[in-house]
Amino acid sequence: MKSHFIVPFFLFFTCTLFSQNFFEKGYYVDKAGNKIDCLIKNFDWDATPNQFQIKENENSKNKYIGIEDCNEVNVPGKFKYVFATFEADEASFNLNELNYERELSLKKTSKFLKLIVEGKANLYELSNGNNKYYFYSIDSSEIKQLVYKQYFTTKTFPNISHNYRYKNQIKNDINCNLKDSNIDDLMYERADLSKVFITYNNCFKNNTNPNASINNNNVAKSDDEIVSVDNNDNKRKKIKVNYSATLGINKSNIDIKNSLNQNNSLEFDSKISPRLGLEIEFIANYNNNKWSIFIDPNYSKVNSTSTYNYTPFGGTTQSEIIDFKGSFFEIPVGIRHYMFLNNKDSKLFLNAILATTLVSVSDVKSTISDDIDYTKFKTRYFGFGFGFGFAYKKLSSELRYDTTNDLDEYINYKTNYGKLALIFKYKLN
């Protein structure tokens, strides 16, 4: 059983390490100011990268460029990173790492910043994977951090307070007739800040007085208006949910082992039975939507038989067909990793699953011998599973292996149940 568990586990994480991200057309600007066209690998980074993987064309070798090589890396419509020297404080927002200082402790650093909005006023983002920090500049002025900090106020009974200075910075520097209520409600998040910067830039784009009245609902409607550099902003606002109907077949293996008397053990025929279910998948909005969590409730029944040979003392051997009948309602919860092929319509995927199963098994009895009388089966069990599949647009198929589980409540008996499933899915949305 251990080998069955380890091999799929190893394959899952090995394939994950070598899974594909796309090279996309873009360019970088070197330290001499030269624009160099190339293909750039898009990892959809959660943390701000310090280097990029590029190649000159599809047939050339990969290489890396970093902060010592370039001032800008750009895949138009996807992302733009600029190298800058600026003052920053990457104070953690984690409760266990807060301190008692209200003000930022700024230190000069040189890093890439992700350009979120570009125009008269630029909005930048710096991320360490756990926290995101925002910066801005106007025209060619220096880059400044938008100040937001959480801190403790008292040491005896610590209370969490917030330094919301970024709201004053917005009010004083990036204000196109924003109402005080708009500024008060402004969150320290990419979506909220982007709207403010786009509105401000469009005031100048349309030769509008920043102090004149403006309808914020009409921001960034036309192609000529200044918009966010990162076109994935809207996609990141919510998790994508997929609903799929599932239909498949299970190949079940069942045997009952009697540790006291091997002659009373039973090995049932392998049977193929249908399964029916519904899958709900929640796709994470990072790393090019390559990770998801899913739940796949499904129902199946198993009817199988075993031949039991019984030789009474001093008598002749008798044979009997023993039935095994079980109903299974399985609720798998798993994590899925996609590996895109030539395009995002075609992809392979790997699943790792933890499942709870509600089970109802009829009595397994013999009419010719009291030795076969198995009546005490579990009504629920937990198990692991692994799957590998292929998806194309709305259709997908998966081969899934579930590890063997013991269905028996008896100490001296062991009812082993395992299955291999072939599952077909159709996306409903």
Please give the residue that has the higher pLDDT: either 2 or 285.
285
Closest among 329, 333, 337 to 389, alpha carbons compared: 337
Distance of CA 146 to the CA centre of its chain: 29
Distance separating alpha carbons of residues 37 and 31, to the nearest angstrom: 15
Please give the residue that has the higher pLDDT: either 21 or 319.
319
Averaged over 69-98, what is the pLDDT?
92
Asked whether residue 397 carries a pLDDT value surpassing 90, the answer given is yes
- Give the residue carrying structure tokens 């801005």: 136
Asked whether residue 135 carries a pLDDT value surpassing 60, the answer given is yes
Distance separating alpha carbons of residues 113 and 45, to the nearest angstrom: 12
306 & 201 share domain: no
Asked whether residue 5 carries a pLDDT value surpassing 50, the answer given is no
Distance separating alpha carbons of residues 33 and 69, to the nearest angstrom: 11
Distance separating alpha carbons of residues 106 and 87, to the nearest angstrom: 5
Is the distance from CB of 415 to CB of 256 less than 8 angstroms? yes
**What domain count does the chain have?**
2
Q: Is the overall model pTM greater than 0.85, yes or no?
A: no
Tokens of 109: 């650093």
pLDDT in the model for residue 374: 72
123 & 219 share domain: yes
pLDDT in the model for residue 4: 46
pLDDT band at 356 (very low <50, low <70, confident <90, very high): very high
What is the average pLDDT value for the chain, to the nearest integer? 84
Asked whether residue 165 carries a pLDDT value surpassing 90, the answer given is yes
For residue 372, the enclosing domain spans 238-427
Phi first, then psi: what are they for 17, rounded to 5°?
A: -65, -30
267 & 312 share domain: yes
200 & 282 share domain: no
358-390 tens-digit pLDDT:
999 887 877 766 667 777 788 899 999 999 999
249 & 151 share domain: no
266 & 172 share domain: no
Averaged over 11-40, what is the pLDDT?
77
Phi first, then psi: what are they for 395, rounded to 5°?
A: -105, 145
Percent of the chain's residues with pLDDT above 70: 83
pLDDT in the model for residue 411: 67
262 & 400 share domain: yes
Helix H or strand E segment including 199: helix 190-205
Helix H or strand E segment including 347: strand 346-361
Beta strands per DSSP E along 98-177 = 107-117, 121-127, 132-138, 144-145, 149-152, 160-163
